[in-house]
Structures are given as C-alpha cells and as structure tokens.
A and B are shown apart, each in its own frame.
Chain A
C-alpha cells in the first residue's frame, strides 16, 4: 500500500486501539503489525507526538515479568479527535468503495 497513505491511517489505528482499553507501547505495536506491514519503531514517535498534543496521558505500571510498562490512556480530547478521524475515514472509504462498485458493475 502507498506509504503516504499508511502513515495517516496508523494514527487512526492507535487511537482506535486505545479507545477499547489502556495499553502499553509494545502491545500497540504488536496489535498493529499483526494487521499492517509497518516499521514497528515508527509507532513510538507517533505515540510521543499524540501524547504531547494532549490526546493521551501515560502512567507506569509494574509488570509481573520485567521492568514496569508505560501505559497510554486516551483523554477526552483524544476521543473527540478519534471521532473526527473516524468520520473522515468512513466518508473516504465509503466514497472509494462506491466508485469500485460502480466500476465493477460497468464492466
């Protein structure tokens, strides 16, 4: 898939995953890379940026194995932003799907 396109979608994926529950970085990276082929390291700059913009808060939680993990929690601002992105995404993908359907129908 087009690289430019994927990066915007990555943001949406992170927001959707955090809307379900609070998660730590590694977990987010695994969840996304199960579905989409990404350079896993690029999720961390994204998480930092969105945290700085106030979409997430973070806290450390002890883990039964290994060092404490940094969890990300979606804020209200983040949730509103997710809603905006979701609306845009739905509008966009509906449009493309509609065009594909018409295209296939015409053949």
Chain B
C-alpha cells in the first residue's frame, strides 16, 4: 500500500525542527511500524540522505526504548501497545501518517525522533529502590507475601519506562511512572521500611526535572503499553500525604 509520511526532523537539541514529507509505495500490511521506518531509511540511504533517527531495541514491546507520536497519539492508534508492536494493517492505503517524537521539556529531542529520557533514571536514582546490598538477603521464604500482594506489586512493577504517559499527558506529568515504582515497592514488606523517604525524594526529583502536575485525566493509563493503573498515582498521593503533608 501507499503511505504518505510527515516526519519530524531536527538536527540537534538546540536546532529548530520541522515536519518533512515522504512517500512509500511498497508498504505491506504485515510490516511492523518500525519495519516501515526501516524501509524508509533504506530509501533515504539509496538517495544519499541522512536516515530518520529513531529509538528502538528489542522490538517485542518490553525494553521501552521505542516510542513516537503517531497521528497525534502516543504509540499510535491502538491502545496498550508499544510502537514496535503496531503493524501497518492498522492503516489504510493512501493514509497520511504524522510521526513526531514524544514531547516534553524533560524529554529533550536529541535528533529527529530520538529523545533523552534520562530524567526517568534520575527519578529512580533519587529513591526508586530497596536498599539491599548484595549478600545481605535473608532466605527468600522468610518473608511470606500473599499471592494477591505479589500480583499487585507485579502490576505496578511491569512499567517499561517508555515515557508514553508523559507524552500523552496534557501537563507532561510523570506521575504514572513515578507512582508505579512507589506502589510496587510500598506494597512489599521489604520496601515499606523506606517508603516515606522514597516518596518524598522521588516526588522532589520529579519537580526538579520539570515535569508538570497530574490532573487525573487518566489519559496515561489508556496509552500505557503495560496498562499501569492510574490508581498507582492515588497510592503515591496517599503515601506522600501520609508521610509528610497531612
């Protein structure tokens, strides 16, 4: 099928970017969205032009490195999939597709569709862990954890850190990402001990990084490839209020 592309091209962090037009004639339905971009890049190389830079790695939806805005929606039109799991059968012959990077002040564009998400790392560095050094661990079964708790912790821990939540949020809030980690760890007995300090430090870092506030529109949950629940945000708020404010 024939696809018209409008893709964001930007040379450097500082440079001004713009949308550029491309046309692909030989797209097939079974192609993944990223294979389609590969095909475009093959053509650009043949024409001696610089390729469209985009982030990707595992291409099976788990590494969290891919992610672009496709027709104004994070990871494209399907709910709960990453960009790499989107296939061209979701589009029609003759469609025009807008491709832009995830945008937020805390996600600066490096080049084209590649962005810098190191702010996520810094928020984890601020406290997104249990302070258990290697060699300190007691026998695993000495900490019984109910089936329900373990499953709930898993639901929060499943976050892949792609940043779609920020990209789709009207306030560019990182609340879903931060709260998923806070909830994962606070649910487990091992993680409760540092809970107050963790939530305080991670939220402080979230502010420091310049993310916006959460206004509970719940768009993040809809776009999240792992369907991380917005109730994680409520849990984070509770932990924050309990720990210091209230």
Instruction: Report if A and B associate in a common complex.
Output: no
Residues of B within 8 A of A (CB): none
